[in-house]
Amino acid sequence: MNIRVVIVDDEPLARLAVKVRLARRSAFELVGEFGDGASAYEGIVALKPDLVFVDVEMPGKTGLDVLAALPPAQRPMAILLTAYDGFALQAFELAALDYLLKPVDDERFDEALDRAQQAFPYRGQGRAAASALPAVRSFSVRIGSRTVLVPVAEVERIEADGDYATLHANGKTWLVRERLHNLAMRLDPRQFHRVHRSSIVRLDMIAELCSLTNRDALLRLRDGSVLRASRSYMPALAEALQHLNRKPE
């Protein structure tokens, strides 16, 4: 079954960019596109798409207004598109699937589509269904004739290495045969976040975040390592760090 998609953006070229990328993925079917919030709301109600790409800022009714006006049970999976990085909290409150900063690169776009495909079978089953998604508890690492289990709780960061990923845990490194984007989908987002196309970090390992002029950031970890966080991942990372540091009431 194809995932039925609607695109909402007041810029025709932006809609075209999404359409061209969607056409490369046979699992997705475009069923409508809208250039303003009012028609988008009516179209979503009528078409009942599974997924909507929605521009956050539009004249009149914004993309966030459109999503907020829909009852949660009728709200499609949403991937937000924006040129600004100040909407992470609203995206979190509306349970948006992903949050992409314009201009969106192909790898980030594909990652968002991968997330939609993984979430699609659980759509409409409530947040409790999310717990049914497979979660990594430990990594099996082959060393010669031995298999070593590395607990996720000991992993501090993960870096891409082609078709493999390198785990950094307790001063040791381990190589696992799995692509980084697959691991990013299976790790608990309350504990781990992808900060770059080539790296995932455990949130409580971040000791310092230094913003750069291009909206990237440098992360200093508690073990002294320094990693670059790209602007595409910064909104979700900032929101995750806020929730990590928020004291329960």
Give average pLDDT by consecutive 10-residue segment, the chain, 249 residues: 94 95 95 95 95 92 90 88 70 74 87 85 51 66 86 94 92 89 79 90 94 88 92 76 63
Identify the pLDDT of residue 134.
Answer: 54
Identify the pLDDT of residue 130.
Answer: 40
Task: Write down the CATH number for the domain with range 138-245.
Answer: 2.40.50.1020
pTM of model > 0.75: no
Homologous superfamily of 3-124: Response regulator (3.40.50.2300)
Could you tell me the CA-to-CA distances from 232 to 34, 69, 84, 112, 127 in Å, in that order?
25, 27, 10, 12, 25
Structure tokens belonging to residue 50: 């599974």
Q: What is d(CA 80, CA 102) in angstroms, rounded to the nearest whole number?
A: 10
Burial of 199 (0-12, 13-18, 19+ CB in 10 A): buried
Question: Are 56 and 87 within 8 A, CB to CB?
Answer: yes
Identify the pLDDT of residue 89.
Answer: 57
Q: What is d(CA 102, CA 29) in angstroms, rounded to the nearest whole number?
A: 22
Q: Please state the domain extents for the chain.
A: 3-124, 138-245
